[in-house]
Structure 1
Amino acid sequence: MHKNHFTQIHKLNSKVSVPFILLFLCLCFSCEKPQSKLQRLNPATLNAAFETSRESAITHRRFKHRDIQPLIKKHRGAFKVEELGKSVQGRSIQQLEFGEGETKVLLWSQMHGDESTATMALFDLFNFLEAKNDSFNIIRNVIRKNLKIRFIPMLNPDGAEVFTRRNAYGIDLNRDAIKEVSPEASILKAAREAFAPSFGFNLHDQQIYYNVEQTAKPATISVLAPAFNHKTEINDVRANAMQVIVGMNRILQKVIPEQVGKYDDAFEPRAFGDNFQKWGTSTILIESGGYPNDPEKQYIRQLNFMIILNALYEIAHGDYTAYAVEDYFRIPDNDRKLMDLILKNVTIHDGENKYQLDLGIKRQNMEMENGYAVKGQIDDVGDLSVYFGYKELDASGLEYVEGKLAEESIVDISDLDREKALELLKEGFLAIRLKNMPESPFHDLPILVLHEHDSIPSGYNAGSAPNFYLKKNNELLYAVVNGYLINLKKPEATGLKQSIW
């Protein structure tokens, strides 16, 4: 469809009913056929491709620039590798090229240094594209012959070094597409101008607290075909991006049903995605969110691999054109109503009054030297009926009570193991003091470990540290330790990642 048709639709939006517009779009797009008879990929095939291609050298999200250099080096030969420039602190920003086709595709990841999920998936994809003589040759050859793909796997290596969003200047690279103050932004813009790709993939992570609107399900993957102007009009370029997204959503709904959200498409004139769309590159934003019990996002890494490979395959043989643009608008919007833990109807007795509150808790990662720890915080209190938790407990009949500090300190952290910590916890001791500071402040014990002269941080107001018990008839039933809920009758206090307070 010619872009003027989209402009006319937008102008008629206030005069013509939405069903009529959607029907018109459907007639325009659903009649289009794939350009080949190749079968669409299914989740089983994509999953099998991932299992044979997973890059074993990357097992967590906090890898650094130096960690990926040998991985890039091993792909020289199958890929053309080029240094595009250097970051503020002098780290190389590299590009890998694959394929010999006419349709050009550019993918860039980790323009925010702490958003590395898709970067992991790209290295899995490199392994897949380089492999030979297996059951996936048809997929691989279709991509090789029809596409020329350029990958920039780590655009912000300085941010990745300290696992933070911004670059070494303190700039959000995704708000520097126009002024180009940062060298990394100039590198990305120059890469697009030199290549003139038809398609672009803007790969990010989002907070785990996004949910699919009006549901308790996390937005594990969020998508967007960014707007190219303030009117959020649709032209051919943006429509192509929408159709590719519909194809990705087809896969995702089979493996994570109802866990795909769509970002607000309000135009951001400083952002790269919006400007790529404006400059003529059909741009697809992928945001990796949260998934239960996947703190290192290894399953979400697999989802990224699957939908990116599917998208490249469908672009390569033109199958994306068979999807209706209207189906893009059927993807539900993102919301931000998730918390790590919600305790409903907790009884508070403040000495004078007795009342009930919902307590909503979030746990934030705290970056520290040589690692990270988690610090919980009460995010909100009161009526939280519109919010959802990754874990929820109806605490009706349970009363908030402060924990005690163990009477004796320990000399070294090694003097306390998980079993001893649980025994103390069950006896009402929420914390213990430590005399000698270890080299590493990290531990996974189900108890607070405090410095020698500190006291237990706690409270039930917003902003307080979530460290307390829930009791019934003077019996302690649950402990909340740094925002983690522990059932004292059936303790499964695993997966805690704490530091000494």
Structure 2
Amino acid sequence: MISSLSPAQDVARQLHDAHEQIKEKTLTHRRFKHQDIVPLLQALNQPLSVSQVGESLEKRPIYQVKAGSGPTNVLLWSQMHGDEATATMALFDIFNFLQAKNDGFDTFRQAILTKTTLHFVPMLNPDGAERFQRRTATDIDMNRDALRLQTPEGAILKNLQQTLKPLVGFNLHDQNPRYSVGKTGKQAVVSFLATAFDEDRNINEVRQRSMQLIVGMNRVLQQFVPGQIARYDDEFEPRAFGDNIQKWGTTLILVESGGFNGDSEKMTIRRLNFVAILSALKAIADETYRQEETAAYQAIPENGRLLFDVLIRNATVMREGHPVLVDVGINHNEVNDKAAKTFSYKSSVEDIGDLSTFYGLEEIDATGLMLAPAYQYSDTLDTVSELAKLDLIALRQQGVLVFPVRKAQADTFPTQPVHVLYDGELPAQPLQLEQIPTFLLKKGDQIHYRFVNGFWKENPDTLQNGVID
């Protein structure tokens, strides 16, 4: 059977399929820290070399990984924002790929290594990664520091761009997982941007190259996540590194890793980064990107903001004795634990009303159902640990989801799907903006859905953490 894929798409499919064997297997979640990647960097072998290019405000070394001997310099950096780690994982997968031999990709790999010289900076913001926060230890957003250069990490990045003068730079980020592809209900799994270099968003040769490379990256990814690639808004931001690096003469490709439903640790998008970046590096090496039309870049839909994590449609609530039909948008918000290696969810009611033009990653049609307060346990427990003495499964079936406790710590998260109250009662109304979404959906006396902290599924394997309020 003759393949209908282009050569680049065909190789991308092979890379995608091989990723499981190639990937760096010690990186299994997004909240790794600087100390976790240092041994991996120290273990790298030819054709890769590692050098220190500076240090963070808190004296953590910032490293550069170099590969290749070609005349075209390419600069790639990840985790400029400390809590955006998807591409860092992909870069370590690429390091493994570049060190491999006799795996069917030797010709592909050698084309990149002989025609380009690659300069990688994984984890540009190690202090932010330590806390799993966006900003550096200066409390400055590094991506708004391209002019003043008050962050040492930002100064390192500008120095690399000015001294290496790379033809192409890859600015690797994560974006809000609730972006939609245009006005569709599809989640933007990956978004690209050819950043503007001036207020008028003009297109010169440097920016045109960005667009052409993104067209190729979009094409290879569409076969894995069809209709789920978007384009970031290109409004000029005069303080941002992406816009300025484009202005300074380096073709800039912004890659934003969004969300993939059911994959909170972004392992699927990590694989897509691996495929897209390697495909682009091959296009740079062979200059095949020159064949692409910029109109195909403009045809990629822009990011929209039309998604909630959960959208309940057509629920009825009582207001002053009158039934009111509403939709309810709920988002699950990640909260780091103290060590920032794991997280729990604290959900929120984001919007109420007519949300017919929005979508949910998960949706419930509540037509004919009344949204009512969850039932509260009749006694007040001394501590959260006393929950273990109760038959929570039976109580849940009865709609008893809320448990008063005398001694508890706010913003902590029981492993059981319960809503713990330690300070006062639930609001009189069953539904308010910014409320933690714990309630019932009923028809008469029959309970159809039991929501705790925005989650409702009954399967023990899919029940999420509770919350202390």
Per the TM superposition, whether the score is higher than 0.5 is yes
Task: Name the residue aligned to 1:416.
Answer: 388
Structure 2 residue corresponding to 1:73, chosen from 20, 42, 46:
42
Larger deviation, residues 284-293 vs 397-406: 397-406
- Per the TM alignment, residue 376 of structure 1 is displaced from its structure 2 partner at its CA by 0.8
5 Å-filtered alignment, 1:345-384, equals 345-370=314-339, 371-384=342-355
The one-letter code sitting in structure 2 at the alignment partner of 1:429 is V
Asked if the contact 1:55–1:123 (Cα under 8 Å) also holds between the matched residues in 2, the reply is yes
Distance in 2 (alpha carbons) for counterparts of 1:211 and 1:170: 29
2:33 pairs, out of 50, 64, 71, with 64
- The equivalent of 1:299 in structure 2 is 268
Aligned to 1:395: 366
8 A Cα contact 2:326 2:353, kept in partner: yes
2:163 is the counterpart of 1:194: yes
Distance 1:78 1:42, change over 3 A: closer
The amino acid across from 2:165 in the alignment is: A
Does 1:110 pair with 2:79? yes
> 2:102 aligns to what?
133
- Cα separation, partners in 2 of 1:118 and 1:279, compared to 1, 3 Å: same
Question: Does the 8 Å contact 2:331/2:349 carry over to 1?
Answer: yes
Question: SS of 1:343's equivalent?
Answer: strand
Q: Structure 2 length as normaliser, TM-score?
A: 0.93
How far does residue 342 in structure 1 lie from its aligned partner after superposition?
A: 0.8
Name the CA distance, whole Å, in 2 between partners of 1:275 and 1:248: 22
CA contact (8 A) 1:347 1:400 kept: yes
Tell me the residue number matched to 1:447: 418
Matches within 5 A, 1:170-209: 170-209=139-178
> Does 1:480 pair with 2:451?
yes
Separation in 2, partners of 1:139, 1:476: 58
Maintained 8 Å contact 1:444/1:494: no
Summarize the Cα distance change of 1:286–1:480 in structure 2 as closer, same or farther, 3 Å threshold. same
The answer on whether the counterparts of 1:459 and 1:465 sit within 8 Å (CA) in structure 2 is no
1:123: how far off? 0.6
Equivalent position amino acid for 1:181 in 2: Q
Tell me, yes or no, if the aligned pair for 1:405 and 1:455 is still in contact at 8 Å.
Answer: no
Asked if the contact 2:27–2:89 (Cα under 8 Å) also holds between the matched residues in 1, the reply is yes
| Alpha-carbon shift at residue 156 of structure 1 (Å) | 0.6
* Equivalent in the alignment of 2:228: 259
Tell me the percent identity.
Answer: 42
In 2 relative to 1, CA 60–420 (structure 1 residues): closer, same or farther, beyond 3 Å? farther
Aligned residues: 459
| Residue identity in the other structure for 1:174 | N
Supply the distance in 2 between the matched residues of 1:498 and 1:76 (Cα, whole angstroms): 46
Task: Show the counterpart of 1:31.
Answer: none
> Shift of the alpha carbon at 1:407?
2.9
> Contact 2:189–2:257 (CA<8 Å) still a contact in 1?
yes
Structure-2 separation of matches of 1:40 and 1:402: 52
Question: 1:270 Cα deviation (Å)?
Answer: 0.7
Per mean C-alpha deviation after superposition, the further-off stretch among 195-204 and 134-143 is 134-143
> Please, what is the CA RMSD of the aligned residues?
2.2
Q: Is the 1:344–1:359 Cα contact (8 Å) retained in structure 2?
A: yes
- Whether the 8 Å CA contact 1:238–1:277 is kept in 2: the answer is yes
Q: Where do 5+ consecutive residues of structure 2 fail to align?
A: 1-5
**Aligned 8 A contact 2:12 2:279 in 1:** no
Q: Deviation string for 1:3-52 (max 9, x for gaps)?
A: xxxxxxxxxxxxxxxxxxxxxxxxxxxxxxxxxx9866444211133122
Q: CA offsets, 1:242-292, max 9 Å, x none?
A: 111011111111110110110111111111111111111111000001111
Name which of 121, 124, 128 aligns with 1:155.
Answer: 124
Could you tell me which runs of 5 or more consecutive residues in structure 1 were left unpaired when the two chains were aligned. 1-36
Residue 61 of structure 2 aligns with which residue?
92
Deviation at 1:449, TM superposition (A): 3.6
- Corresponding residue number in structure 2 for 1:496: 464
Does residue 273 (structure 1) correspond to residue 242 (structure 2)? The answer is: yes
Tell me if the contact between 2:181 and 2:301 (Cα under 8 Å) persists in the aligned partners. yes
